[in-house]
Amino acid sequence: MPFLSEATTAQPPTGEIDYRLARRQLLSEFRKGRLAQHEICDAQPELVRVAREASSPTSVACPVCDDGLLVHVTFVFGPRLPKHGRCVTSLKELKALARQSGDFSVYVVEVCPECRWNHLARSFPLKPRR
């Protein structure tokens, strides 16, 4: 079953989850015309704002509009953080959270500020699991 083995190899033992497979499937549905652009380019205004102002630009072109470069926005979820997560913009901030007690999860979302395409890129525990 190629689908299964691919999903397994995309998941390294560190607890990191890679969402490339789901992303590829979604984009393939879009290219086949089964999904409209507004259905996949639905980033909330707040997400687009942080993508423009406080995120890490990549050199990867947007797979949907091909005009914009994707940016990565990092959210951390865990104890004492807002329900919708905290947007983290620096490694320093991430390290400070790692020193606190409790389990934190990091989610990296790729966003195209031009067409509002957004997709989860990967997630991982902030502290390595023992």
Q: Which residues bind Zn ion (CB under 5 A)?
A: 62, 64-65, 68, 112, 114-115, 117
Question: CA of 33: how far to CAs of 22, 62, 129, in Å?
Answer: 17, 18, 41
Least Å from the CB of residue 40 to Zn ion: 10
Nearest to Zn ion of 33, 79 (CB atom): 33
**Least distance CB 38 / Zn ion (angstroms):** 12
- Cβ closest to Zn ion, residue 43 vs residue 106: 43
Closest distance of CB 74 from Zn ion, Å = 19
95, two tokens: 């390290």
